[in-house]
Chains A and B, each alone.
Chain A
């Protein structure tokens, strides 16, 4: 069975301070993991993904995430928040080896707010 938990539904940080969005997963197989971002009234866009290569993954707009198998975590970080980072972020886990798309599981989302 697979599951993904985004530990915070809302995170608020000041501009210029670090961002941490937390994601824990459960998977019976070696998973692929993704972070997508959704700006208001827009579709989702890929930030970064882990597919069994380097455990530290760098994405767009200065974001990165580290795959930690022992902690079953894939937390998203950014050293310095920008106003344009305000959006909803989704962590996604998927199970290779299946043909069924139903093994792709989206987290419930974390809304990131940036204070001036």
Chain B
């Protein structure tokens, strides 16, 4: 079974802190995604990576950056956390064709910024 793990289930940070969220997948998938999930808004794509060191902005990249130095690991960085970044963050991976292949999701990190 594909396994996608996220470094923390719950995280509490203060405004202005630099925050790292890490995601690891164990199935050699090319594609990795970071989403933000807010009630009534569904999932919104923050960043997408289709290969090591390759990234693409999603719909809401402002205030975020990403890093993919190894194929299995995709990190989301909040450069200076703000209260409006309090949310559930979901990581996903998929094998090849972005638009037809199944995405496999991690359990999520619930981030609270005080």
B90 near A32 (CB under 8 angstroms)? no
A57 at the B interface (CB under 8 A): no
Q: Which residues of B contact A9 (CB under 8 A)?
A: 40
How many Å lie between the Cα of A108 and that of B44 in the bound state?
10
How many Å lie between the Cα of A44 and that of B92 in the bound state?
9
B40, B98, B100, B107 pick with most chain A CB within 10 angstroms: B98
Interface stretch (choices A62-70, A78-86, A92-100): A92-100
Beyond A42-B108, A101-B33, 18 additional contacts (C-beta under 8 Å) are A41-B107, A41-B108, A43-B90, A43-B105, A44-B103, A49-B100, A95-B99, A97-B99, A98-B98, A100-B48, A101-B31, A101-B58, A101-B98, A102-B56, A102-B57, A106-B44, A107-B42, A109-B42
A7 at the B interface (CB under 8 A): no
How many Å lie between the Cα of A43 and that of B55 in the bound state?
23
A42 near B107 (CB under 8 angstroms)? yes
B45 near A46 (CB under 8 angstroms)? no
Interface residues on B, range: 20 to 34
| Chain B interface residues (CB < 8 Å from chain A) | 4, 31, 33, 35, 40-45, 48, 50, 56-59, 90, 92, 97-100, 102-103, 105-108
Out of B57, B100, B108, which one reaches A43, CB within 8 Å? B108
Out of A42, A96, A99, A106, which one reaches B42, CB within 8 Å? A106
The smallest beta-carbon distance between B55 and chain A, in angstroms, is: 10
Q: Mark A100-115, 1 if CB is under 8 A from B, else 0.
A: 1111101111000000
